[in-house]
């Protein structure tokens, strides 16, 4: 099986640890390595190094190549000259894979999500791969929800198609945007709704035909790409035509419209790592609910989050505050306001402090 | 006039910037230099370098000597082998000054207080010096209160003794410990009460006679000291006998008992710099009441204090929080709990992290 890792994010939300030139996928949040190297390691259960393709933007390609040096061949790290969202990236990957490997299934997954319960993950992927080999289906991984989360999109599952080795596959019924808390509670209670994880599995031919049907403009670009790859380098071709691709996500452009979508139920732990807040659940808490990554002292503090691997932080008399140190900058935020870290980054840009963004 | 600067403090309250080996008086809080160098500079209006004496403990003497190198002669920096509070320090200073300069007035002041409105300060000191020259009085500076402060002791002024060049001197009526808020309001309203600043001015003979009357044990030690200084080095004599001195403050041991105490009214700005909270008033605030020392970004934050000269701090969605960076450690505290920084220092000691204390 092929693995296509999407590593295009810029990650303002993890400032001050993430920067324009050091985006979220290159951060070591868990202590086990950068997010992308953990993702590569996860996919090595299914793919040899030459079967792993990383799609990123051209400004990040070198930094990513250094980060996964020896794990993924340099020529498998593709730098897009401009970002056009996920549909063009996935179409590009499908063209490259079909040329080099034929109509072999490939899994698409973001570089900057976290997964644990790897035995369950592996069983789910193997069942999905077997199904994709034999069926002209677009498979998407739906995560069994564990709370009424309002920050994720949901997929509603329909008819059960198979149930093998503890892994259920369903026909997809409908896609749902991020819900209100009331809707999210309803979704959780119904048992039919799954978190839309942004992880997919299919054969090149199947996704390219879906693109032909639902995104004809993208299809034209991909046909030209495939043709010119015979005589030109990929970088040259991308520079010449990639900017013409429509800027559209695979969810909106294909998945929500196609009638051959299948949901693979994922019972493993999954986290899209959307903010400093979302990763609290990855870590153990002290008896007062503080998450302390690094060696820290809390005096009369509850529910705080401290990410400071190199410098000691003393917290006194605070509740629900997140502190992050990056060496040259420090974030101190109320936990429920941490998404506004983007405003800090914007202010830094306005102040001409680009080296800190 | 001589100046005696008391630089004995250890300053846990300014952790993480102050440390056992880098106490408060060596910190640059205002951007104008260390507190002790600012204090030396302030007294240069009255005293030549050789007329400035610094009393500290022996473990800090070298660090202080380096800090005021070129401003105060090394032999004028006296390291006490053990701390015995202010009465023995001041007695020691009186003995040294009497030997070297005769019965010339000297001012005593802490190294780690802040003063501004220097023209008013200078007028007050000059009037006090003139009075001390001509009278056998113990002068103490009482600061005109500007708020019902519960963190300071107070002196009640009695009969007016003189009023020259805008500087009033009064007979002291009584000393009062840190008051309740109700008492403090009453004090502020009455107009007779002044903050006890810990700054004094007198001739050596006058304070030594007061010590003879009120602290006879200390007087014996000082007599032996004076005698042995003829043949032995000051360090040797102090090592031999200073530990025998009673551990007592000049306020409790002498001032509250003596009947020749005079209050000099100080209308200048004075701050004893007791905590990160107390120095907020030294700095200008942004429109949301944030004090930002260094270049920082606050998004939806009010009343915060940030001391981080070298590293940018982004504050998001917080009120009344103080953030201090020292390079190897960071303090994040609720402003009204900042005195508990001592508990952080104690916890660090318990954890064997002495290098951070």
Helices (H), chain A: 35-43, 61-67, 86-101, 118-134, 181-190, 204-214, 216-228, 234-241, 250, 341-350
pLDDT at B281 over 90: no
CA A256 to chain centre: 19
Band of pLDDT at residue B12, cut at 50, 70 and 90: confident
Q: How many CB pairs under 8 A join A and B?
A: 127
Q: Specify the length of chain A in residues.
A: 357
pTM of the model: 0.85
CB atoms within 10 A of CB B284: 6
> Closest Cα partner for A357 from A26, A9, A10, A20?
A20
Of the residues B237, B271, B305, the one at which a domain ends: B271
pLDDT at B211 over 80: yes
* CA pair distance A106, A337, nearest whole angstrom: 38
Same-domain status, B247 and B285: no
Cα distances (angstroms) measured from residue B29 to each of A175, B52, B113, B324? 57, 23, 11, 11
> How does pLDDT run across A323-352, given as a tens digit for each residue?
999 999 999 999 999 999 999 999 999 999
Cα distances (angstroms) measured from residue A273 to each of A249, A257, A270, B288? 19, 27, 9, 32
Do residue B313 and residue A330 have CB atoms under 8 angstroms apart?
yes
Which residues in chain B have their CB less than 8 angstroms from residue A17's CB? none
Which residues in chain A have their CB less than 8 angstroms from residue B348's CB? 297, 312, 314
Looking at residue A32, its pLDDT comes to 87
Average pLDDT (A305-322) is 96
Do residue B332 and residue A317 have CB atoms under 8 angstroms apart?
no
Same-domain status, A105 and A186: yes
pLDDT at B353 over 80: yes
Which residues in chain A have their CB less than 8 angstroms from residue B308's CB? 330
pLDDT at B135 over 90: yes
pLDDT at B238 over 90: yes
> How does pLDDT run across B69-126, given as a tens digit for each residue?
989 999 999 999 999 999 999 999 999 999 999 999 999 999 999 999 999 999 999 9
Cα distances (angstroms) measured from residue A20 to each of A11, A30, A39, A94, B340? 8, 20, 20, 28, 38
Looking at residue A210, its pLDDT comes to 98
Q: Judge residue A176's burial from the number of C-beta atoms within 10 Å of its C-beta, 0-12 exposed, 13-18 middle, 19 or more buried.
A: middle
Rounded to a whole number of angstroms, the distance from the CA of A14 to the nearest CA of chain B is 12
Q: CATH number for the domain including A24?
A: 3.90.550.10
* CA pair distance A140, A155, nearest whole angstrom: 9
Band of pLDDT at residue A6, cut at 50, 70 and 90: very high
pLDDT at A250 over 90: yes
Same-domain status, B289 and B267: no
Band of pLDDT at residue B10, cut at 50, 70 and 90: confident
Cα distances (angstroms) measured from residue B153 to each of A252, B5, B164, B182? 71, 20, 26, 14
Average pLDDT (A227-235) is 95
pLDDT at B220 over 80: yes
Same-domain status, B73 and B198: yes
pLDDT at B22 over 90: no
B53 Cβ contact list (under 8 Å, min separation 6): B2, B3, B4, B5, B76, B77, B78, B93, B96, B97, B106
Cα distances (angstroms) measured from residue B297 to each of A58, A90, A96, B312, B333? 31, 39, 45, 8, 18
Average pLDDT (A253-265) is 97
Rounded to a whole number of angstroms, the distance from the CA of B274 to the nearest CA of chain A is 17
B10 Cβ contact list (under 8 Å, min separation 6): B18, B20, B23, B24
Band of pLDDT at residue A75, cut at 50, 70 and 90: very high
Nearest to B318 among A299, A315, A334 (CB): A334
> Closest Cα partner for A316 from B11, B214, B335?
B335
For A16, nearest residue in chain B (alpha carbons): B314
Of the residues A244, A271, A298, the one at which a domain ends: A271
* CA pair distance B132, B104, nearest whole angstrom: 9
Nearest to B344 among A308, A314, A330 (CB): A314
Chain A contacts in chain B segment 294-313 (CB below 8 A): 295, 297, 299-300, 308, 311-313
Please give the share of chain B, as a percent, with pLDDT higher than 90.
90
Give the residue numbers spanning the domain of B35: 2-271
Same-domain status, A301 and A188: no
* CA pair distance B144, B270, nearest whole angstrom: 9
For B334, nearest residue in chain A (alpha carbons): A317
* CA pair distance B150, B158, nearest whole angstrom: 22
> How does pLDDT run across B259-274, given as a tens digit for each residue?
999 999 999 999 999 8
Rounded to a whole number of angstroms, the distance from the CA of A343 to the nearest CA of chain B is 7
pLDDT at A9 over 80: no
Same-domain status, A223 and A252: yes
pLDDT at A180 over 80: yes
Which residues in chain A have their CB less than 8 angstroms from residue B334's CB? 316-318
Backbone angles phi, psi at A198, to 5 degrees: 75, 15
Please give the share of chain A, as a percent, with pLDDT higher than 70.
100
Structure tokens at A43: 């996919």
Same-domain status, B203 and B348: no
pLDDT at A56 over 80: yes
Do residue A343 and residue B316 have CB atoms under 8 angstroms apart?
yes
Structure tokens at A309: 């691997």
> Closest Cα partner for A174 from A162, A158, A160?
A158
Same-domain status, A285 and A258: no
**Residue found under tokens 């839309």:** A196
Rounded to a whole number of angstroms, the distance from the CA of A321 to the nearest CA of chain B is 8
Do residue A340 and residue B317 have CB atoms under 8 angstroms apart?
yes
Band of pLDDT at residue A22, cut at 50, 70 and 90: confident
CB atoms within 10 A of CB B28: 14
Question: Is the Cβ–Cβ distance between A304 and A333 less than 8 Å?
Answer: no
Nearest to A323 among B300, B308, B332 (CB): B332
What secondary structure letter does DSSP report for B22?
Answer: B
Average pLDDT (A265-284) is 92
Which residues in chain A have their CB less than 8 angstroms from residue B330's CB? 308, 311-314, 323, 325, 330
Q: What ipTM does this complex have?
A: 0.84
Which residues in chain A have their CB less than 8 angstroms from residue B16's CB? 312, 314
> How does pLDDT run across B70-83, given as a tens digit for each residue?
899 999 999 999 99
Helix, strand, coil content of chain A in percent (nearest 5) = 40, 30, 35
Same-domain status, B245 and B284: no
Chain B contacts in chain A segment 323-352 (CB below 8 A): 323, 325, 328-334, 336-338, 340-341, 343-344, 347-348, 351
Looking at residue B209, its pLDDT comes to 98
What secondary structure letter does DSSP report for B252?
Answer: I
Same-domain status, B233 and B302: no
CB atoms within 10 A of CB B102: 10
Of the residues A271, A298, A322, the one at which a domain ends: A271
* CA pair distance B192, A54, nearest whole angstrom: 78
Mean pLDDT in chain B?
A: 95
Same-domain status, B257 and B287: no
Backbone angles phi, psi at A72, to 5 degrees: -135, 130
Secondary structure (3-state) at A184: helix
Same-domain status, B174 and B37: yes
Number of domains forming the structure of chain A: 2
Rounded to a whole number of angstroms, the distance from the CA of B275 to the nearest CA of chain A is 14
pLDDT at B21 over 90: no
């Amino acid at each position: 099986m092929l693995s296509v890792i999407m590593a295009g994010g810029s990650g303002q939300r993890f400032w001050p640890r993430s920067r324009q030139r050091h985006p979220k996928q290159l951060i070591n949040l868990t202590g086990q390595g950068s997010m992308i190297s953990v993702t590569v390691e996860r996919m090595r259960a299914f793919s040899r190094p030459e079967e792993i393709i990383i799609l990123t933007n051209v400004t990040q390609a070198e930094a990513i190549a250094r980060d996964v040096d020896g794990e993924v061949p340099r020529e498998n790290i593709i730098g897009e000259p401009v970002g056009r969202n996920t549909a063009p990236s996935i179409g590009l990957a499908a063209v490259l894979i079909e040329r080099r490997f034929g109509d072999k299934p490939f899994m698409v997954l973001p570089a900057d999500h976290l997964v644990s319960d790897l035995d369950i993950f592996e069983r789910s992927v193997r069942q999905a791969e077997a199904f994709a080999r034999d069926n002209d289906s677009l498979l998407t991984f739906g995560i069994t929800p564990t709370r009424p989360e309002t920050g994720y999109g949901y997929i509603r599952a329909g008819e059960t198609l198979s149930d093998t080795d503890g892994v259920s596959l369903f026909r997809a019924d409908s896609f749902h945007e991020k819900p209100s808390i009331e809707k999210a509670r309803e979704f959780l209670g119904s048992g039919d709704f799954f978190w839309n994880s942004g992880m997919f599995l299919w054969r090149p031919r199947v996704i390219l035909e879906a693109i032909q049907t639902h995104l004809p403009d993208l299809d034209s670009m991909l046909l030209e790409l495939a043709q010119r790859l015979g005589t030109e380098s990929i970088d040259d071709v991308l520079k010449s035509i990639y900017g013409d691709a429509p800027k559209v996500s695979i969810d909106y452009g294909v998945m929500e419209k196609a009638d051959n979508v299948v949901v693979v139920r994922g019972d493993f732990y999954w986290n899209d790592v959307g903010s400093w807040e979302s990763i609290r659940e990855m870590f153990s808490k002290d008896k007062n609910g503080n998450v302390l990554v690094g060696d820290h002292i809390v005096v009369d503090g509850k529910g705080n989050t401290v990410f400071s691997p190199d410098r000691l932080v003393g917290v006194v008399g605070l509740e629900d505050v997140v502190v992050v140190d990056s060496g040259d900058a420090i974030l101190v935020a109320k936990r429920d306001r941490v998404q506004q870290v983007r405003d800090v980054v914007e202010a830094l840009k306005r102040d001409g402090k680009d080296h800190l963004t």
